[in-house]
Amino acid sequence: MANYIERLRDKIKIKKFDSNQPVRAWIFVLILNIVGFAGYFYLKINHIQLGS
């Protein structure tokens, strides 16, 4: 059981940020997601339905 908990803890642990990752691409993805959620909530608040 202790081995299982240790493996689970290793999987959940936040890993160090890799310096080879394209930071600008990740910022773009995050901003795009924020804009998408904002648009979704805007449509829901104004009762706009895109489908039939």
- Structure confidence by residue, pLDDT tens digits, 1-52: 778 888 888 888 877 767 787 888 889 999 999 999 999 999 999 999 888 6
Report if residue 11 sits inside a domain: no
Q: Is residue 6 in some structural domain?
A: no
Show the tokens assigned to 45.
Answer: 């608040």
| Residue 49 phi, psi (nearest 5) | -115, 130
**Does residue 12 lie in a domain region?**
no
- Asked whether residue 14 is assigned to any structural domain, the reply reads no
d(CA 50, CA 34): 19
- Number of separate domains in the chain: 1
User: Considering the domain boundaries, does residue 7 fall inside one?
Assistant: no
Residue 10 domain-assigned?
A: no
pTM above 0.85?
no
So what's the pLDDT on residue 52? 61
Show the domain range for 42.
21-52
Q: Is residue 42 part of a domain?
A: yes
